[in-house]
Amino acid sequence: MEYSERIKRLPKQFFASLVNKVNQAIEEGRDIINLGQGNPDQPTPSHIVKALQQAAENPQNHKYSLFRGMPELKAAAAEFYYRQYGVEIDPMTEVAILFGTKTGLVELPMCLLNEGERMLLPDPGYPDYLSGTALANVQYETFPLKAENHYLPDYEAIPSKHLQSAKLMYLNYPNNPTGAAANREFFEKTVQFAKKHQIAIVHDFAYGAIGFDGKKPVSFLEAEGAKGIGVEMYTLSKTYNMAGWRVGFAVGNPDMIEAVNLIQDHLYCSLFPAIQEAAIAAMTGDQSCVTELVSRYESRRNAFIKACREIGWNVESPTGSFFAWLPIPNGFTSESFADYLLEKADVAVAAGNGFGRHGEGYVRVGLLVDEDRLQEAVNRIAKLNLFSSAAVEK
């Protein structure tokens, strides 16, 4: 069967080959410590599961949902934003319910750009952003996120020809894969930049709950004027360990929200209503499960970074998300180092070049196993004698 050009344009799923390698090693009976993926390891809090169980019993919830989702869920999202970030949202015009934020991130280029138009994407960045450019058949330019800029973009360094032709830009803080955070000042600068160059902003706030050292992540919408030029994507996948449930939402600029709602009117008729009820329970219920989760990730981060430094691996401590971004030793590429760790230490990590050209020289570790296993992973790596202070590049 001959596929359409649209399907042929889709990027190769870089991490599919990692998953295959890991699965093969597990099938061989090896005890693999898998730090390569971004799948939360803890269960969804039981009060949310119970809310689903109850809601699933209600025959009303077995019918089609309203196309654009339950008004009560939109109201819960708006209240949540006010409570968490002090941002006022109109639930009817400024919220779009999504099947996980991945869907919205992939849909937005189709909503806002014509074929051949251009968007700006971070490098390194979340690989699924590229899927949206391929489906919409739009061009993209990347801007580098560098360690010396704390993995924030340097707007002055983006070539003016890219700025003139770009209509849409994606940002993501706390950042996957680098673990870097952004502050309000940065988002204020972003709003000025976006207005000056007439570029719509999408801030992917997937790790919006996960900030360390007492610093809560900042919402893009906290910046003055942000709603005039952009939207933020919020997911329940990480905050409440609900990755399999597929619940997210976009909030912010009413025109962008309406565009997402319009495309979704044709693609879906919203989520299973019982899941929507459970999502309401998650956002309006007791938030101590979130505090506990963040402190669990923080303890893991502390244990892992300490262990790495003890073996001479000169790594930076992430300030948010559940990822650590680690420079590789001399003599390797990101991919050869990831392969080496899998082969020799039975430790799976994600090669940095899978996130873009500027990810070369790094590997990403997900802090998604308990502290003992993280320590065990570092112990195994220590036995390879790769690190002395002179062996580490960055």
Ligand X SMILES: Cc1ncc(COP(=O)(O)O)c(C=O)c1O
Decide whether 15 or 155 has the Cβ nearer to ligand X: 15
Contact map string, positions 216 to 255, toward ligand X, x by CB under 6 A: -------------------x-x-----x----x-------
Q: Which of 126, 186, 313, 387 binds ligand X (CB under 6 A)?
A: 126
> Which window, 58-66, 95-103, 144-152, 209-217, contacts ligand X (CB under 6 A)?
95-103
Q: With respect to ligand X, which residue has the nearer C-beta, 74 or 102?
A: 102
Residue number with CB closer to ligand X (363 or 381)? 363
Nearest distance in Å: CB 279, ligand X: 12
Identify which of residues 77 and 307 has a Cβ nearer to ligand X in the complex: 77
Token pair listed for 130: 């590229």
By CB under 6 A, name the one of 106, 206, 342, 377 that touches ligand X. Answer: 206
Instruction: Report the 10 Å Cβ neighbour count for 199.
Output: 22
Q: What share of the chain is helix, strand, coil (3-state, %, to 5)?
A: 50, 15, 35
Least distance (Å) from ligand X to the CB of residue 159?
25
- Least distance from C-beta 207 to ligand X, angstroms? 7
Number of residues in the chain = 394
- If binding means CB under 6 A, how many residues of this protein chain bind ligand X? 13
Residue 74: Cβ within 10 Å count: 24
Q: Are the CB atoms for 112 and 256 separated by under 8 Å?
A: yes
Closest to ligand X by CB, 264 or 340: 264
To the nearest whole angstrom, how small is the minimum distance from the Cβ of residue 205 to ligand X?
9
Stretch 160-199: interaction string toward ligand X, x if CB under 6 A: ------------x---x-----------------------
Q: Which is nearer to ligand X, 212 or 340 (CB)?
A: 212
Choices 10-18, 97-105, 219-227, 279-287; region in contact with ligand X by CB under 6 A: 97-105
- Tell me whether residue 177 or residue 327 sits nearer to ligand X (CB atom): 177
Find out whether 171 and 122 touch, Cβ atoms under 8 Å: yes
Q: What residues have CB less than 8 Å from 149, skipping those under 6 apart?
A: none
Q: Does residue 38 interact with ligand X by CB under 6 A?
A: yes
Taking the complex as a whole, how short is the minimal distance between the CB of residue 368 and ligand X, in angstroms? 11
* Shortest separation between residue 387's beta carbon and ligand X, angstroms: 28
> Closer to ligand X at the Cβ: 172 or 219?
172
In the complex, least distance from residue 100 CB atom to ligand X, rounded to whole angstroms: 3
Q: Is the peptide bond before 327 cis (omega within 30 degrees of 0)?
A: no
Q: Which is nearer to ligand X, 118 or 203 (CB)?
A: 203
Contacts of 303 (CB under 8 A, 6+ apart): 371, 374, 375
Residue (133 or 235) nearer to ligand X, CB: 235
Name the minimum Å distance from CB 282 to ligand X.
13
Stretch that binds ligand X, among 52-60, 65-73, 100-108, 264-272 (CB under 6 A): 100-108
Select from 133, 145, 203, 204 the one that contacts ligand X (CB under 6 A). 204
Q: Which of 36, 40, 69, 100 binds ligand X (CB under 6 A)?
A: 100
The DSSP bridge partners found for residue 234 are 249
Residues lying near ligand X in the complex (CB under 6 A): 38, 100-102, 126, 172, 176, 204, 206, 235, 237, 243, 248
